[in-house]
A and B are shown apart, each in its own frame.
Chain A
């Protein structure tokens, strides 16, 4: 692990411990990745699954917390599947586990943050985050999401929440279900490109 990542993580972990007081020191070891980068000539036209190119580094407990938080951040529409059912948390695991510094810099932040969720849940309700009911989960998320001012010592957890939200949205809205929800209707062949609809032109005052 690059030194600057290690230092960042230590800072995050230290802050987490100060808050909850129950962060397990064993979990404070940020795992390292020995897998290889994609390389300059990967096969392009196939479906890749998280874990296929490099091992995933979240513990089962962290994976459960990640699934629960992703589902809280992006609740399903009527009849839609949850982010966890679309493997969005596995994408986040792939992201933080990768051998690339540009995504692996999120590894200490996200892992410490997931540990924090469980320790905070235990502190408040004596069970892990994934086993809380929706209201209890929201109680923790509300403290971290930045809508209301947060105590300065929560700063690493607020940063975690922001990064995790970014990754959850990025993972979710790039799935076919997420694209449809966002209102993206392309990526299908059409014999002609017809330009904007009359409704779109009217919306812009161009009709």
Chain B
């Protein structure tokens, strides 16, 4: 994508957006399509999925067969550039040295951020998920309801392209006609598991993922998304026609050079650029939001990583979409006489209420899957999943933990990796080869993804001494799961063991008897949200329901930071829906001259 250098910065913009991932990409899209002049600052380098994606490469063309390494944690071919739980030159710290009190912070420094590699799982929060406190007395209610957000879920699904089905299940919303693309067929193992876990009362249904199972309806969707705006309709129609339907091969986590899945760099940013209203400046590491004499935001100061110089860009409105923790960091680093504890922090809630997703996994081997007649099972990652199914039991207090989880699982004859020998029987030669051929494709893995309730022990602040390469103070994390999460993780393991048993499989390893042993570390699932929660009461929250900071109305936070809760539904779709909603509100406020 043709980007600008710092020399080409304009004197002023309508809006500066910090971050180009799901929240920043959606914001840039919505604003520029409506004629707003935008500067987008990205801390990482430019990235072009059309030319850089490793489509069809096999492990034998990668160093070390493409295994997960500390500098490529999701494997060599993963799309992530300059990212991981550790990023060169950009440390963070933990207040505790105890493993269970440490938070792992994932970042990706590249255009499009984490949207280039994410799992594409796109589940709507349900009605319960916006009112968790009202339902069970824990956590915080959102200041709006599912009905308020639903139209934006509709729009985002139509824009980015999401496959899935409507099943009419509790707190698992259906989408209106025309929003979803058809789900791919279930694989052999997925059908087998569905049949055999039914006796446990566990439903297996098509999952929703941001992948084009068919081409989008470029003739009709643009008019639905941009009524009365023929120019935006034309640009979007052209962008949709540039995207091919999935051809059911090569991992989505590598990115997609045919634009069949959603990543900001192929779906949000190209049409935004086509409007002529967007400047993107890469390698721009935001330090702080700058203020005018009245305490209103008037720009962003950033380090140009190419020259090392600090520069300030000016705008009427600033949107932070740098990822929830990074946005909190920018607020905390934006200190002034008027805001000595960090910007927009009169409530003291900036950095508080950090949540990740509860994760636990268990695998096994299934004799029934041995020697399955050979066929192509690649498809597109997950095709089905188990939505949370115990709402009634939980409401009745029978489970001992307050919030639910969904189950993702992997089966099938997927591309072999270096671990293919796994637990093969001793031996070599012909017998070894036969053993591997027999068991290949018979291994399964279940992963739980559950809701964490915000708590007082999980937050971030600025480290009093440590700074990054550019002298910017870094975040220090404080972390603790409550019993709700630990018991939920234990329930996951017990359930997975029952499921593996129900399909006649052998559990690999031992199911945990202690939730603390089953649960993955905080940050490991990379669904961190919170840190600047929204609310109806400015004393208890950082933003209103339109992501606008109470203290600084022309400053918005359009990433996961305003989340009041972190439902088991993966956060990305909701980040986009809220960013779109916030930008619609912002445009109206700008039109009326309120900002």
Contact = CB atoms under 8 A, between A and B. Distances in A.
Interface of A: 37-42, 44-48, 52-53, 72-75, 91, 94-95, 98, 100, 102-103, 138, 141, 145-147, 162, 165-167, 169-171, 173-176, 178-179, 181-197, 199-201, 203-204, 206
Which among A42, A72, A173, A199 has the highest number of chain B CB atoms within 10 Å? A173
Interface in B27-58: 45, 52-58
B88 interface: yes
Contact of B429 (A37, A75, A184, A193): A75
Given A41-B82, A42-B76, A176-B58, A184 B440 contact: yes
Contact of B249 (A37, A72, A187, A196): A187
B413 A183 contact: yes
Contacts of A199: 373, 375
Contacts of A147: 426-427
Contacts, number: 207
Interface residues of B, number: 78
Which among B71, B184, B369, B373 has the highest number of chain A CB atoms within 10 Å? B373
Contact of A174 (B65, B187, B195, B414): B65
A179 B58 contact: yes
A82 to B, nearest CB: 13
Contact of B64 (A95, A166, A196): A95
Contact of A179 (B192, B249, B415): B415
A147 B63 CA distance: 32
A82 B440 CA distance: 21
B512 to A, nearest CB: 24
Contacts of A45: 52-55, 57
B69 A174 contact: no
A185 B62 CA distance: 20
Nearest to A179: B416
A203 B62 contact: no
B525 interface: no
A127 to B, nearest CB: 21
A146 B426 contact: yes
Interface string B400-427: 0000000000000111111111001011
B378 interface: yes
A173 B436 contact: yes
B416 to A, nearest CB: 5
Interface in B174-206: 184-188, 191-192, 195
Interface string B427-466: 1111011001100110000000000000000000000000
B87 interface: yes
B76 A182 contact: no
Q: Top 5 nearest A-B pairs by Cβ distance?
A: A195-B185, A170-B418, A186-B378, A189-B247, A146-B426
B162 to A, nearest CB: 16
A94 B64 CA distance: 7
Contacts of A175: 58, 60
B392 to A, nearest CB: 30
B548 interface: no
Contacts of A103: 64, 67
A44 B76 contact: yes
A195 B192 CA distance: 13
B386 interface: no
